[in-house]
Structure 1
Amino acid sequence: MSTRQDGAPSPVVRSRADLVDWIAAGCKPADQWRIGTEHEKIVFHTDDLSPVPYEGPRGIRAILEALAVRYGWLPIMEGENIIALKRPDGEPVATVSLEPGGQFELSGAPLETLHEVADETQQHLDQVSAIGKDLGVGFLGLGFSPTWTREETPRMPKRRYAVMTRYMPQVGKGGLDMMYRTATIQVNLDFGSEADMVKKLRVSLALQPIATAIFAASPFTEGKPNGFLSMRSEVWRDTDKRRTGMLPFVFEEGMGFERYAEYALDVPMYFVYRDGEYIDVAGASFRDFLEGKLAALPGERPTIDDWSDHLTTLFPEVRMKRFLEMRGADGGRWRRICALPAFWVGLLYDQTALDAAWSLVKDWTAEERQALRDGVPRLALKTPFRNGKLLEIAREAVAISRGGLAARARKNARGQDEREYLAPVEEIVASGRTIAEQLLEAYHGPWKGDVRRVFGEYAF
């Protein structure tokens, strides 16, 4: 989740048009489209496989401090606590931040090619692995913590999380598990115009269940199979339905920046950030704020930064800010971290591929899209679709993505184009076996029912 920093004063919002214009300003010509990749890792002590608290000589704070000293990261403070790291001015913009349960996240720089994404990811993993080796800490690439209860999971001292922790149980059963026990890979991609945004948003929403199915890797909870292939995806199904889901309005006539802003105006807020503090306004709408009707800030009008903050607290399957954020995948190791952006870049950053992807999904009904979303946490690629299984559609989508990457023709120093990063996805759809299913086979076979084996075999 985003890390707020104090900066120059932000303009006060004068009208709804200001909100729409702020989103629309994300439009970029194709030669400026970039790839931003985010990935979370579950952190554990290697000696006893316990979760890592914030404080202590082997805690999360110690990891952050060591990264700053050894690799030149700069600390971002909240009071006395380091809550994130950033790169120095003049270097590519990237941050290391903390999720509520101590999940360690890299929010990568906006990069031009998947080759650069792969290099950035490898450098980050090398850094945290080196620090982890010194501290006796490991990093796990799965979508859900496989052994710890929610009560055993530590809580990070990040003030916005306190607001969310109080509010989440009021609006769904899965919110606290989402916050404290899940980990994901996400990719942020650009759009060129309002029409381009609409087409990309529709394609990515329709195909998001396919990404969830291909990347399913969270079949264990508290040391046992949980009955799902993506428990991470399942908990999102009951996490504040007003701010999550498949956004059926996106497929309706009249969709555009203004329609998305109207949706966001009515999603309940969590907080307002003022002078280093998070003011709890959970349940109020941004529309109320726009009219000066927040009980906690009577008469005060929002700023553009408040709008930006609010958009980061919406959690649909694809989120729009000044770019599109694909939110459907479980966490994974290096190959899978690179494979997710490869899948989406291939589909969305080549016009022929985008047109083909739209042709694939344009006649799907809202009910069919929702049925896929509801089915994939348990069944993944075996989810029924029309007269077959989702696997057949996944194979078509991956083939379209491969063609899009070939058309981009972005080569590295070895002369290889970006299709090499799609290989893990192609392996999954060729075999029809997800990582989750492979994990369950190991659990019932050579692991002899010992889920703890996953910490050795799926750590970075």
Structure 2
Amino acid sequence: MARDQIDMTPLTSRDELVAWIAAGVKPKSEFRLGTEHEKTPFTLEGRNPVPYEGPKGIGALLEGMKLLLGWEPIMERGNIIGLYDVTGGGAISLEPGGQFELSGAPVDTVHQTQSELMAHLAQVREIAAPLGIGFLGLGMTPSWSRAQIPVMPKGRYKIMTNYMPKVGRYGIDMMYRTCTVQTNLDFSSEADMVKKLRVSLALQPVATALFANSPFTEGKPNGFLSFRSEIWRDTDNARAGMLPWAFEDGMGFERWVDYALDVPMYFVKRGDDYIDVSGSSFRDFFAGKNARMPGERPTLSDWANHLSTIFPEVRLKRYLEMRGADGVSWDRLPALPAFWVGLLYDEVSLDAAWDIARTWTAQERQALRDDVPRLGFKARIRDRYLFEIARECVKLAHEGLRRRGHLDHTGRDESRYLEPLDRSIDSGRTPAEEMLEKFNGSWQGSVEPAYGEYAF
């Protein structure tokens, strides 16, 4: 999330929590799409992590971007930690290990996403190149140990870093060593939200396979195609996963609120301070029973911030966030919004996608989710390989985008951005498998060439 919310209205009823999410409902004519992507900075010389401090650090990179773009700085205790575009709504923020995130503005078409991305990468290059900084488009840092990675000066990350080892094996890796690309999409009613949430949750493993791009840890193959996805299976299961209850009768905004009320909190922000309330529930805070802040009641900002610390495969805020994909190289990034827009923003494709997954049980969905990080397209559900389902989904996305009929200046519709996925389907190989082939072939057992071939 780009910036912590600041609305200090105290909350008095659960209805307000529901209303906050329900305010995301908009007519189909106002549907937008947003794309967020993270990339790992590295020093061009030596290919090491980039510290925050110093004349060639991340702080200097953000200062340079501020001057170039004229965006508002986001400050914390005197450090620049992000930038915000007041006019367009885009933002640049830092993940815990310095991963550089663009949270794109809400746009109308995937063509605009592509334009925004190309402009952003050109701007970043202009500032980063003189600082000797490059960026890597992979789902996980291929060669660095946890200990090597610098920590960004953000209070919320300090709290999360202390808490993560208590609740899972891989939380620190998730924070400091992974990158993702995600797409944010709208809904036109509560029922539309539920339908889209179910389809995208059930089919999230398809995106995980199509974008699987993290096969290396500390210079060696780690046995997975998407180790980033595997990391999420043991990061903090109280706030992650496939949400089996979302497929039960009675699912809606209220059910999400009840879930979120019981997800353990990380922090409460008051002014510049992050108060560590990790492990306590929002429900108790709501009742004035938080041990660290006795008698104090949460504000709307606290609620918005809390919702941004829940990490299931698909997340509901005032829109739906698709969270299953690894970070990838620039040419594949627009394929993620294209894939989900084609499936979810076209009624015919949405119905057909639901037909694929409608009869799957919670156990089957979970088993597919558990297998996909290691097996990719070779994961199975019932008598079908995920590869066949992926091929069907990409086809449905093509059809949905064609029916949307948004043409670029050359007269091509948004389905053009699915071409990298078409190539994966044609070859039967995930991006990770292509990379492993290089590692075992032309790269001669070294991950170093990735810093050239997969750089932005």
TM range, smaller chain: over 0.9
The answer to whether the Cα contact below 8 Å between 2:2 and 2:82 also exists between their aligned partners in 1 is: no
Name the counterpart of 2:195: 199
The AA in structure 1 aligned to 2:162 is R
Greater displacement, 329-338 / 40-49: 329-338
Amino acid of the structure 2 residue aligned with 1:343: F
Which residue of 2 is the match for residue 168 of structure 1? 164
Q: 1:28 aligns with which of 16, 22, 26?
A: 26
Question: Which among 211, 215, 219 is matched to residue 215 of structure 2?
Answer: 219
* Distance in 1, Cα, partners of 2:314 & 2:113: 20
Aligned to 2:267: 271
SS at match of 1:151: helix
Contact 1:346 1:401 in 2 (8 A): yes
- Partner SS, residue 83 of structure 2: strand
Question: Match of 1:76?
Answer: 74
Q: Which residue number corresponds to residue 390 of structure 2? A: 394
User: 1:286: how far off?
Assistant: 0.5
Letter in 2 for 1:451: V
Matched, 1:442 2:428: no
Q: Secondary structure at the match of 2:289?
A: coil
- Specify the alignment match of 1:105 in structure 2: 101
Give 2:46's aligned residue.
Answer: 48
Displacement, 1:71?
2.5
Question: Helix, strand or coil for the counterpart of 2:181?
Answer: strand
Alignment partner of 1:130 is 2:126: yes
Worse-matched range after superposition: 409-418 or 93-102 = 409-418
Code of the aligned partner of 1:33 = F
Q: Of 209, 234, 237, which residue of structure 2 is paired with 1:241?
A: 237
Alignment partner of 1:421 is 2:417: yes
The reply to whether residue 188 of structure 1 matches residue 184 of structure 2 is: yes
Displacement of 1:82 after TM fit? 0.3
**Residue 63 of structure 1 pairs with residue 53 of structure 2:** no
2: distance between equivalents of 1:449 and 1:356?
Answer: 43
Which residue in 2 is equivalent to 1:3? 3
Q: What residue in structure 2 maps to residue 208 of structure 1? A: 204
CA offsets, 1:33-80, max 9 Å, x none? 100100000100011000001001111001101111123222111011
**Residue 138 of structure 2 corresponds to residue 142 of structure 1:** yes
Specify the code of the residue in structure 2 equivalent to 1:95: A
- Once the two structures are superposed, the pairs formed by residues 110-125 of structure 1 within 5 Å of their partners are 110-125=106-121
- Post-superposition Cα deviations, 1:196-216, rounded to whole Å, max 9, x if no partner, equal 000000000000000000100
**Alignment partners' CA distance in 1, 2:436 and 2:403:** 37
Question: 1:35, 1:113 within 8 Å by CA — same for their partners in 2?
Answer: yes
Contact 2:76 2:272 in 1 (8 A): yes
Q: Report the residue type matching 1:224 in the other structure.
A: K
Does residue 1:314 correspond to 2:310, yes or no?
Answer: yes
Give the whole-Å Cα distance in 1 for the aligned partners of 2:454 and 2:410.
Answer: 29
Query: Which amino acid in 1 is paired with 2:53?
Result: E
State the 1:233 CA deviation: 0.5
| Structure 2 residue identity aligned to 1:163 | I
- For residue 295 of structure 1, the aligned residue among 291, 296, 314 is 291
- 1:329-362, Cα deviation, whole Å (9 max, x unpaired): 0001222110000000000001111111111110
TM-score for the superposition, normalised by structure 1 = 0.98
Q: Indicate if the aligned counterparts of 2:2 and 2:92 stay in contact, CA closer than 8 A.
A: no
Q: Does 1:339 align with 2:335?
A: yes
**RMSD over aligned Cα, in angstroms?**
0.9
Partner residue of 2:429? 433
Distance 2:2 2:282 in 1: 18
CA distance in 1, matches of 2:205, 2:171: 20
Asked whether the 8 Å contact 2:2–2:91 carries over to 1, the reply is: no
> Are the counterparts in 2 of residues 409 and 417 from structure 1 also a CA contact under 8 Å?
yes
Report deviation, 1:137: 0.7
Counterpart of 1:17 (choices 15, 18, 32) is 15
Task: Check conservation: 2:22, 2:190, Cα contact below 8 A.
Answer: yes
AA aligned opposite 1:172: G
Equivalent-residue separation in structure 2 for 1:55 and 1:270 (angstroms)? 26
Extract unaligned runs of 5+ from structure 2: none
Moved more, 65-74 or 367-376: 65-74
> Structure 1 residue 10: deviation in Å?
2.8
Matched, 1:405 2:395: no
CA distance in 2, matches of 1:336, 1:446: 22
Name the aligned partner's letter for residue 70 of structure 2. Answer: G
| Contact preservation (8 Å) 2:139, 2:180 | yes
Range moving further from structure 2, 127-136 or 211-220: 127-136
Post-superposition shift, 1:431?
1.4
* SS of 1:451 mapped into structure 2: coil
Q: CA deviation at 1:3?
A: 2.1
Which stretches in structure 1 are left out of the alignment for 5+ residues? none
SS in 1 for 2:436: helix
Secondary structure of the corresponding residue to residue 426 of structure 1: helix
Q: Give the drift of 1:2.
A: 3.6
Give the CA deviation at 1:114.
Answer: 0.5
Segment drifting more, 366-375 vs 384-393? 384-393
Contact 1:2–1:312, Cα closer than 8 Å, also in 2:
no
* Alpha-carbon separation, structure 2, partners of 1:46 and 1:137: 6
Secondary structure in structure 1 of the residue aligned to 2:449: helix
- Partner amino acid for 1:372? L
Aligned to 1:151, which of 140, 147, 153? 147
Aligned residue identity for 1:378: R
Q: CA shift at 1:126, angstroms?
A: 0.6
- 1:243–1:267 Cα contact (<8 Å) kept: yes
TM-score, structure 2 as length reference: 0.99
